Amino acid sequence: MPNLETLAVVLEQPERLSLQRLPLTPPEPTDVIVDMEWSGISTGTERLLWSGTMPPFPGMGYPLVPGYESVGRVSYAGPDSGLAVGQRVFVPGARCYGEVRGLFGGAASRVVAPGARLLPVPESLGEQGVLLALAATAYHAIAAPAASTPAHAALRTESSATAAGAASATATASANAASAPHVELIVGHGVLGRLLARIAALGDGSRPVVWETNPVRHTGAEGYGYDVMQPDDDPRRDYRTICDMSGDAKILDSLVARLARGGEIVLGGFYHEPVSFTFPPAFMREARFRIAAEFQPSDLAAVRDLLDAGRLSLDGLITHCIPATEADSAYRTAFGDPSCLKMILDWRTLS
């Protein structure tokens, strides 16, 4: 069995981060030990933890190990883990650091985690595997089980088809999608917004629009079936489905003004301030609001199906990769440089 010690990113308090050696919890028969290769830095949840603006929730507190976007190799597999030594897996976090909280615990050179929580990923995906959590979050926003439109069900049906077959199911899904509403407007062209746009564009006849106010982030849509523009350059006021990925708690009134009657606004960001809207315009449009929370295992599996089928690409989204020994500067760049779409830490020399 590998050494039960790890080098982890530890947020000791807001804006104070260091690499620390921590003991690991011994694995149970259902657990595996994973030697990490890469971990991503989330500009949503992790930014709030880093800045100290995360609203209180059960289990919240410092010190903590962040991270829920990690990829590594199994170096030990418990007899009941369902995994094998040498497999590359996606790790959505870990709680294995004793008194140091795992929120969500993926930013470490080695972790102990239940095999059932991990997702095997193909070798060809490489460091892009860290994007699976964001892709699953985007997929969950458009295809959440609570969604009422046939388009969402059609996309979920399509994604479950294998690359080799299920032609009739795909044809049926495409036919349903052609006549049903899709996410037509997306707010924010960060990584999450780009992934949502790429997934939304898979619907037959769908060409989403993405609003982005920062000109630095206007590129990157070419070849993916959607358009990027400034909000003031968009004349439409009849969107049937709008998804906000900005996390701006004050944006709802401007989105309601662009909504068709009976349209839906999906809140896909995380809002650390109270979210409110002016009631009369929403009443006149009979607006519907839906919150898309964290992804589920079925969303991860659906994204993997889309990748395996060659329908979804993760290219062009990781812009920065820095050795994990430089974690402090990596976090500051990830949160402060608008040209940084996705920062990942490279753990391969430390695991």
- For the chain, the domain total comes to 2
| 319/277 same-domain check | no
CB 202 within 8 A of CB 228: no
In a domain, 41, yes or no: yes
Q: What is the DSSP string of 169-223?
A: HHHHHHHHHHTS----EEE--SHHHHHHHHHHTTSTT---EEE-S-GGGS-S-TT
Does any domain span residue 319?
yes
Residues 206 and 287 placed together within one structural domain of the fold: yes
**Assigned domain for 223 exists:** yes
Q: What is the pLDDT of residues 318-337, one digit of tens each?
A: 999 999 999 999 999 999 99
pLDDT at 297: 84
Q: Compute the distance between CA of residue 161 and CA of residue 338 in angstroms, rounded to an integer.
A: 37
Range of 230's domain?
181-291
- What confidence score (pLDDT) does residue 169 get? 40
pLDDT in tens, 183-219: 999 999 999 999 999 999 998 778 999 999 999 999 9
Measured distance CA(344)–CA(212) in Å, rounded: 23
Q: pLDDT at residue 97 above 60? A: yes
The verdict on 257 and 205 lying in the same domain is: yes
pTM: 0.85
Task: Give me the sign of the Cα torsion angle 317, 343, 126, 69.
Answer: negative
Residue 194 tokens, joined: 């780009």
Average pLDDT over the chain reads 89
Nearest to 143 by CA among 290, 248, 269, 20: 290
Q: What pLDDT is stored for residue 150 in this prediction?
A: 41
Say what percent of the chain tops pLDDT 70: 89
Supply the pLDDT for residue 351.
59
The Cα–Cα gap between 79 and 77 comes to 6
What CATH number does the domain containing 209 carry? Answer: 3.40.50.720
In a domain, 222, yes or no: yes
Per-residue pLDDT at 1:
84
For residue 146, is it within any domain? no
pLDDT at residue 185 in the model:
98
Rounded Cα distance between 13 and 30, Å, is: 33
Say if residue 119 is in the same domain as residue 234.
no
The sign of the dihedral angle between the CA atoms of 219, 337, 300, 268 is: negative
Residue 162 banded pLDDT, cuts 50, 70, 90: very low
Q: Give the pLDDT confidence score for residue 164 in this predicted structure.
A: 42
What's the pLDDT tens digit per position in 125-157? 999 999 998 999 999 998 864 444 444 444 445
| CATH number reported for the structural domain that contains residue 331 in this entry | 3.90.180.10
Say whether both 97 and 51 belong to one domain: yes
Q: Is residue 82 part of a domain?
A: yes
Tell me the C-alpha distance between 221 and 211, whole Å. Answer: 12
332 and 221 within one domain? no
Which tops the pLDDT comparison, 166 or 200?
200
**Each residue of 293-306: pLDDT tens digit?**
888 888 988 999 99
